[in-house]
Amino acid sequence: FKTKAAAAQPLTNADELIDSVETFIFDCDGVIWKGDKLIDGVPQTLDMLRSRGKRLVFVTNNSTKSRKQYGKKFETLGLDVSEEEIFASSFAAAAYLKSVDFPKDKKVYVVGEDGILKELELAGFQYLGGPEDGGKKIELKPGFLMEHDKDIGAVVVGFDRYFNYYKVQYGTLCIRENPGCLFIATNRDAVTHLTDAQEWAGGGSMVGAFVGSTQREPLVVGKPSTFMMDYVANKFGILKSQICMVGDRLDTDILFGQNGGCKTLLVLSGVTSLSMLQSPSNSIQPDFYTNKISDFLSLKAA
C-alpha cells in the first residue's frame, strides 16, 4: 500500500523558498541552458541567489564533458561558475572509484566519451577504451577468441556516440569473466535532447546493452542515485534538508532531490510539461513547480 504523493504546488512565493534553504542544486540542461543556449534570466537569477548568500551547485547527468570542460561552457555562456561547483556524472564515476579505493594498478574499461577519460586521468586511474574503440570491428573467423586485459577491474558506461558491438563484447567479457569487476553507469537517462527536433536515445540505451548481456545491474553514480547528493553534502558540509534541488526532469532530478530528502522544484523550461506533471500516470510530485528559474526574480508574496 503506497500513499499517493501530495500534488506539486505552483511556486507563488519564491522568497519563502529561498529563505528556507542554504543551497540550491541546479540541474543543467533544461534549467540553465538548452543545448548551447542559455535560458532567459539565468545570470540575473544566479547573481540574486549569490547576493543572498546561497551556495550554488550544478549537477548534470551528461557525461560527455569533464567538470573542467563544463567550466569552459559556463564561461562561454557568461556565467561565473567555478569548476568546484560543478558535479557531472563523468566526475562522479571517478569520484566513486576513489571512494571505494579502486586500486591504481588496476584499469578501467570506458564505454563513453572524452569527459569520462579526462576525469579518470585527473584522478590518476588507468583506463582503456573510450572513443578510440569506436572504429574497431570484429572479424568473426572460425575459432576467433576476443582477448581482454585481465587487469581491468571496472567497466564505466555512459552516453557514447561511438558505441559499437566491439565495446559491448569487450566490456561484457570484463564483467562476466571477473566476478569482482565493477559495473558502473554514469546515468540511465532513457532519452536526451541532442537537438530540439526530436528525442534521441540517451545513456540508458548503452547501459541497457550491458544489462542485457551481463544480466547484472550497474551501480549508477549520476541522478537519481544518492551518490552525488551524498558527495556534495559531505564536500560542503551541508544538511540535505537545507538543499533545494531544481530540475526539469521527474525521474532523474526530482527523484534525486527526494531520494536525498531535499526540497524539490520542477521547472517547465525543459523536458517536462505541466500536463506530464499532472498526468495520472505520473507518481513523482515535486514540492513546487514553476516555468523557469528567473521566476525567482518576480514571484513575491502577495
Active-site annotation holds for 177: no
Residue from the set 23, 26, 27, 225 that interacts with Ca ion by CB under 5 A: 27
Residue from the set 23, 61, 172, 272 that interacts with ligand PLP by CB under 6 A: 61
Pick one of ligand PLP, Ca ion, none as the site partner of residue 119 (Cβ within 5 to 8 A by kind): none
CA angle 125, 98, 108 (to 5 degrees): 35
Selecting among 16, 22, 113, 199, the annotated active-site residue is: 22
Taking CB under 6 A as the binding criterion, the range among 6-14, 28-36, 162-170, 273-281 that sits at the site for ligand PLP is: 28-36
Q: Is 218 in the site for ligand PLP (CB under 6 A)?
A: no
The H or E element containing residue 227 is helix 227-236
Q: Is 148 in the site for ligand PLP (CB under 6 A)?
A: no
Nearer to ligand PLP, 17 or 116 (CB): 116
Site string for ligand PLP, 233-272 (x = CB under 6 A): ----------------------------------------
Nearer to Ca ion, 190 or 239 (CB): 190
Contact 94, 66 (CB under 8 A): no
Farthest CA pair distance, the chain: 76
Task: Write the CB contacts of 270 (distance below 8 Å, at least 6 apart in sequence).
Answer: 27, 29, 30, 31, 34, 247, 248, 249
Secondary structure of 240-291 as H, E, C letters: HHHEEEEECCHHHHHHHHHHCCCEEEEECCCCCCHHHHHCCCCCCCCCEEEC
Q: Is 193 in the site for ligand PLP (CB under 6 A)?
A: yes
Query: Coil, strand or helix: which one is 294?
Result: helix
Distance CA 64, CA 112 (A): 7
Nearer to ligand PLP, 54 or 193 (CB): 193
Kindly report the number of other CB atoms within 10 A of residue 276's CB atom.
Answer: 13
Site string for Ca ion, 226-265 (x = CB under 5 A): ----------------------xx----------------
Query: Coil, strand or helix: which one is 165?
Result: helix
Q: Is 27 in the site for ligand PLP (CB under 6 A)?
A: yes
Residue from the set 189, 263, 266, 287 that interacts with ligand PLP by CB under 6 A: 189
C-alpha separations of 30 from 50, 53, 129, 273 in Å: 21, 24, 30, 12
Q: Is 159 in the site for ligand PLP (CB under 6 A)?
A: yes
Residues near Ca ion (CB under 5 A): 27, 29-30, 248-249
| Catalytic machinery residues | 22
